[in-house]
A and B are shown apart, each in its own frame.
Chain A
Amino acid sequence: MIELIGGWLAAVIIVWIYSFVYKDNLLYRLAEHLFVGTAAGYSIALSLDSLNRTAFGQMAKGMEYWHLIIPIILGLTFFFKYSKKYYWIARYGVGVNVAVGAALALRTAPMANIIRQINAAILPLWVADDPLKTFNNWLMVLITLGGLTYFIFTFFPKTEGKAGPVGIVYKALVTIGIYGMMVGFGYLFANTIMTRVGFLIGIILQYLQPRFEATLVAIILAIIAIAFAVMKKK
């Protein structure tokens, strides 16, 4: 029974949220507030559960895990942000949090995000019996160099009038970089459309189609709410 009501509620709220694309209305705002409130409440409950399982539950195992009291205290210091007098105490918690995050990332980031990526960009510019691969590798290398050149802001070789060889190469690379980035942005835009359309399809298939009656009722109510909003404005 709870699942059935949940399914109806999901369908109704989705329709009301989507009604915003036609016009802001009362039911949209009701659905929006319901969503924000529920999501916040759910996140708090889950975070407390996670704290219980990762910290208090571990500490209950024995003295071996009692050092976890330190991060718990540091976490609690965050709440001093709400005090005008003791807000500075929160800085200790924030400081340790940032330091741990930075240290963990820095431990491996140079290898994972810089060296391996540079390695991957060093490609053979001639692949025997595979002209397509050769062409792709040339494109990859030129666009990488072009993109990097475009973002050099410290010096600008002369590219107009009697430009020297450095200026000509610079201009060529920057042009390749711009076109490469445009293609990249186009690819990204196309993927964005695919994702958004995918979300809509999924919502119809997962939530609306199985609860057709609730969807229909929600659509009728949304139309009435939009009509009211239009009339109110007039």
Chain B
Amino acid sequence: MAKEEKRRPFGMAQVIYTLLIISIVIPLLNPVGLPIGISQTTKDVYNYIENTLPAGSPVLIDLYYEMAARAELEPQAAAVVKHLFEKNCKLVFVSTITYGPIVFELLKSTAPDLFEGKQYGTDYVFLGYIAGNEPAVASLAQSIRGTIAVDNYGTPIANLTMMANIDKAEDFKLVFIVSSGTDTFGWYVRQWYTTHNVPLLFGALSVIGPSIKPYVDAKQAIGMLTGQRSAAEYETLVGRKGLGLASMDAQSFAHALILVFIIIGNILFLATRSKPKPKEVKKK
């Protein structure tokens, strides 16, 4: 059987990939508009920003994701940024991954409505990529001006109006970490929350969610958004139709298909197991 599978140019795996692509493309071309419920986790995050975070607060946003993770994380970032801008928060974007400058520019170009009417240097700044991982995060908590001389575009930090009163962890009221890695969250929990008691908000991939939930359960973060699902929920709450909402039908169809495959796989497995094993031919 294995040999037979090997000889074929297109085996069962390729058929499954094709069906999966079809199940995603069809609802993208013809959206069904399946209803989306809003989870308590997302409501908690929204309520914190809406009711607890003072208007005009400085917020640090670490964009720690690469191109592949854009689909899951950019909609979250866009929805939360919209909410923060609506509260006139001062946003300090930074990245501790090399792809940061690209994803920041992509965020700006794909969601220009967010930055409309907002002035660079007065309402938001981008510090660019800062190498060093956890030590870099710890250094930023101590002093931004002590860590970097200029922002991403070469402007001295001292020349940015918004940064006049923002330098260390205590100056921030919230840190929003949008990350495709697990470690990033730990860096901020250790270097910003435990040391300086700055509230943290996590924006993570769905697959990372189970790993960082213990931090949220231990109240080391005010909440978390995971994957496109949370993004779609947040987009509903802030009233911005983005990629999160656009992808929900396709997600549901793809998951339904995978469920069918899992059920078929299990039935076949059980059927194979229940068959009597062929008796071994004893060697004479």
**Are A22 and B10 in contact (CB-based, < 8 A)?**
yes
Inter-chain contacts of A187 with B (CB < 8 A): 210
B213 to nearest A CB, angstroms? Answer: 10
**Chain B 132-153 interface residues, beta-carbon cutoff 8 Å to A:** 132-136, 138, 146-150
Contacts of B13 in A (CB 8 A): 21
- Quick check: A197 and B130 within 8 Å, CB to CB? no
Q: Separation in Å of the B195 CB from the closest CB of chain A?
A: 6
Binds B, one of A76-84, A112-120, A154-162, A165-173: A112-120
Question: Is B42 an interface residue, CB under 8 A from the partner?
Answer: no
- Listed A/B pairs (16) with beta-carbon separation below 8 Å: A21-B17, A46-B129, A50-B128, A53-B148, A54-B147, A57-B148, A57-B150, A104-B134, A107-B195, A120-B217, A120-B218, A194-B251, A197-B254, A197-B255, A201-B28, A202-B228
A66 at the interface (CB under 8 A from B): no
Cβ-based interface call for A148 (8 A): no
* B55 at interface by CB-CB < 8 Å: no
User: B263: which A residues are within 8 A, CB to CB?
Assistant: none
Q: Is A51 an interface residue (CB 8 A)?
A: yes
The 8 closest A-B pairs by CB, nearest first: A202-B71, A57-B149, A120-B218, A194-B206, A108-B190, A195-B207, A108-B194, A191-B206
Task: List, in ascending order, chain A residues with CB within 8 A of B268's CB.
Answer: none
Q: Is the CB of B138 within 8 A of A119?
A: no
- Whether a CB of chain B sits under 8 angstroms from the CB of A94 is no
User: Which candidate, B81-89, B165-173, B219-227, B272-280, is the interface stretch facing chain A?
Assistant: B219-227
B191 within 8 A of A: yes
Please give me the residue from chain B that is nearest to A64 by CB atom. Answer: B146
- In angstroms, how far is the closest chain B Cβ from the Cβ of A223? 12
Min Cβ gap A109→B in Å is 6
Number of interface residues of B (CB under 8 A): 63
Residues in chain B near residue A112, CB distance under 8 A: 186, 189-190, 193-194, 220
Per-position 1/0 for B197-234, Cβ under 8 A of A: 00000000111011000100111100000111100000
Segment at the A interface, from B32-40, B46-54, B242-250: B242-250
Contact with A along B93-137 (1 / 0, CB 8 A): 000001001000000001000000000000000001111111110
A residues contacting B by CB (< 8 A) are: 21-23, 42-43, 46-47, 49-51, 53-54, 57-58, 60-61, 100-101, 104-105, 107-109, 111-113, 116-117, 119-120, 184, 187-188, 191-195, 197-206, 209, 226, 230
Docked CA distance A120–B213 (Å) = 11
A48 to chain B, nearest CB (A): 10
Question: Nearest Cβ distance between residue A35 and chain B, in whole angstroms?
Answer: 10
For the complex with contacts A61-B149, A201-B228, 9 further pairs of A-B residues with Cβ separation under 8 Å are A50-B128, A111-B194, A112-B189, A194-B227, A195-B207, A198-B205, A201-B28, A201-B71, A206-B243
B interface residues (Cβ-Cβ under 8 A, vs A):
9-10, 13-14, 17, 20-21, 24-25, 28, 68-72, 74, 98, 101, 110, 128-136, 138, 146-150, 186, 189-191, 193-195, 205-207, 209-210, 214, 217-220, 226-229, 243, 246-247, 250-251, 254-255, 258
Beyond A43-B98, A188-B210, A199-B69, whether A50 also contacts B130 by CB under 8 A is yes
Q: Is the CB of A201 within 8 A of B214?
A: no
Are B135 and A192 neighbours in the complex by a CB distance under 8 Å?
Answer: no
B148 / chain A contacts, CB cutoff of 8 Å:
53-54, 57-58
Contact of A191 among B130, B227, B243 (CB under 8 A): B227
Name the distance in Å between A97's Cβ and chain B's nearest Cβ: 9
Q: Are A51 and B251 in touch, CB under 8 angstroms? A: no
Complex CA–CA separation, A117 to B212 (angstroms): 12
Given A43-B98, A198-B206, verify A205-B246 contact (CB < 8 Å): yes
Choose among A104, A201, A230 the residue that contacts B135 (Cβ–Cβ < 8 A).
Answer: A104
Q: Are B72 and A191 in contact (CB under 8 A)?
A: no
Contact yes or no, A54 B131, CB < 8 A: yes
Q: Could you tell me if B190 and A198 are in contact, using CB atoms closer than 8 angstroms?
A: no
- Selected from B69, B110, B134, B149, the residue in CB contact (under 8 A) with A53 is B149
Task: Give the docked Cα–Cα distance between A108 and B78 (Å).
Answer: 32
Which chain A positions have C-beta within 8 A of B247? 198, 201-202, 205
- Among residues of A, the one whose C-beta sits closest to the C-beta of B138 is A104
